[in-house]
Amino acid sequence: MAQKSFQEVFDEIKSKVSVSNKGGSPRPVKSWSRSDFDRLAKALVNDVNYTIDSVTIKNGKPEKKEIKPVQLYRNAIRQILIDFGVDKEEAKRIMDESYEIRSVDGLYELASEIIYKYIEAGKKFDFIPRQDFVGSLTLREIGETITEHKTISKNGEPAKTIKVKKQKHKQLEKKSKAPRWLKTHLK
């Protein structure tokens, strides 16, 4: 059976996102699936021609830039093969679209840990800007807190107040807004 393209896997995963009508308006139910992540990752690392259309600002104007992340990734693997003594011509085969990377074991753990450790070090992780997206992640330290919550009364019983103590922890913060190049000042 031929391997599905990245776009086919992406479309298949996207089409299976369920919708909830709770609260009056339909909203997608966003859930985590390790198997879907691995399927998407495997399809991506095998799409040698995959291109990101990134946007940067040059001289105050947006400028498109093509990035080929799979070629960059495979080139890094090629260099590792050469460092281990594999012939350069033989190592170059990993760049060919006919070569299939059969396993993405550890890729989720590696990507997750790199991003987490980077933001835990106090840095901001910026996603590659797109035509319609800019976004970043940071980590915030939250001290110990005590909050009070009222329960909903049931079966005629009066509502109760519950105290919740939260230990010191970390919280992910995201920043994402309309890209500058999509904003227009109106007079």
Token pair 């970390």 in the structure block, residue? 170
Q: What is the mean pLDDT of residues 59-69?
A: 91
Give pLDDT tens digits for 141-155: 999 999 998 888 788
Beta bridge partners of 1: none
CB 168 within 8 A of CB 145: no
Domain ranges of the chain: 106-149+169-187
Average pLDDT over the chain, rounded to whole?
Answer: 93
Distance CA 67, CA 130 (A): 11
Give the three-state DSSP class for 41. helix
Helices (H) and strands (E) in the chain — how many of each? 5, 9
SS3 assignment, position 21: coil
Predicted TM-score of the model (pTM) = 0.84
How does pLDDT run across 86-142, given as a tens digit for each residue?
999 999 999 999 999 999 999 999 999 999 999 999 999 999 999 999 999 999 999
Structure tokens at 168: 């010191």
